[in-house]
């Protein structure tokens, strides 16, 4: 009888001890929402995901959590993060300055060039029309782009 009481007491006490998980802790709900919101450019309803995205970048973490920490299975979901040069809208004049009176200037809209910095061995864009270094992320599903590339 004494042994039965000890066994029962041990079972009761053991039930109050928290179970330690053996798997990695999953990303937060807001961090996982980045996967859905980023390809759409963080539309309305995605402010928490955008905040989580900014927080991850400030802490020098990858901008998106591992997809496997957000889903039961990850069938080919990935992303590409790279540098991007942003060139604001400007006028171009073949063979002269856009400010020349006789120039037949053409308007060039804002543009991003993925995979380069404004200055580098191959490109020297910093003096060209106010080039600004940015970053870009493209979400992929089985190597196909999902939504639009997001620039930050």
Confirm whether pTM is higher than 0.85: no
Identify whether residues 55 and 90 lie together within a single domain.
no
Identify whether residues 91 and 126 lie together within a single domain.
yes
Element (H, E) at 147: strand 144-151
pLDDT at 71: 78
Phi, psi for residue 151 in degrees, rounded to 5: -110, 140
Rg of the chain on CA atoms, in Å: 26
Q: What residues make up the domain containing 112?
A: 82-152
Q: Which residues pair with 129 in a beta bridge?
A: none
* Residue % of the chain over a pLDDT of 70: 69
Identify whether residues 40 and 65 lie together within a single domain.
yes
pLDDT at 23: 37
Q: Which of 8, 61, 4, 56 is nearest to 30 (CA)?
A: 56
Angstrom distances, CA of residue 43 to CA of 31, 34, 47, 52, 120: 15, 11, 8, 14, 34
Residue 9 has pLDDT above 70, yes or no: no
């Amino acid at each position: 009888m004494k042994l039965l009481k000890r066994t029962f007491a041990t079972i009761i006490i053991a039930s109050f001890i928290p179970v330690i998980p053996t798997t990695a802790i999953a990303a937060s709900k807001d961090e996982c929402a980045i996967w859905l919101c980023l390809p759409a450019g963080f539309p309305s309803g995605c402010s928490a995901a955008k905040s989580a995205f900014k927080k991850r970048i400030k802490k020098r973490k990858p901008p998106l959590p591992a997809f496997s920490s957000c889903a039961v299975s990850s069938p080919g979901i990935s992303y590409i993060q790279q540098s991007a040069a942003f060139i604001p809208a400007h006028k171009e004049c073949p063979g002269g300055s856009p400010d020349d009176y006789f120039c037949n200037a053409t308007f060039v809209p804002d543009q991003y060039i993925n995979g380069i910095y404004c200055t580098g061995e191959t490109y020297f864009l910093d003096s060209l029309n106010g080039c600004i270094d940015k970053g870009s992320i493209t979400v992929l599903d089985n190597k196909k782009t999902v939504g639009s590339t997001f620039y930050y």
